[in-house]
Amino acid sequence: MKVLAFGDNLITPEMLENGLTELKNHGFEVEIRDWSHDSVESLQNDNILVEQQGADAVEITDPSLLKDIDKFDVIITQFTPIGKKLIDKAKSLKYIGVLRGGIENVDKEYAESKGIKVMNTAGRNARAVAEFTVGLILSETRNIARTSAAMHKDIWLKNFPNKDNIPEVGGKTMGIIGFGHIGRLVAQFMKGMDANVIFYDPYVDSVEGFKKVNKLEDLVKQADIISIHMRATEETHHIINKHMFDLMGEGTYFINSARSALVDESALIDALKNHKIAGAAVDTFDEEPLPKDSPFLTLDNITLTSHLAGSTADAFKNTPKLFVSRFLQSIEE
**Set 124, 140, 259, 265: catalytic member:** 259
Angle between helices 126-141 and 313-332 (to 10 degrees): 150
Asked whether the beta carbons of 169 and 190 are under 8 A apart, the reply is yes
**Set 100, 288, 326, 332: catalytic member:** 288
Determine whether 229 is an active site residue. Answer: no
Distance CA 256, CA 235 (A): 17
Distance CA 242, CA 226 (A): 15
Distance CA 178, CA 244 (A): 15
Task: Compute CA distances 82 → 13, 72, 297, whole Å.
Answer: 18, 14, 35
Determine whether 17 is an active site residue. Answer: no
Asked whether the beta carbons of 102 and 79 are under 8 A apart, the reply is no
Distance CA 320, CA 323 (A): 5
Asked whether the beta carbons of 250 and 275 are under 8 A apart, the reply is yes
Determine whether 31 is an active site residue. Answer: no
Catalytic residues: 259, 288, 307
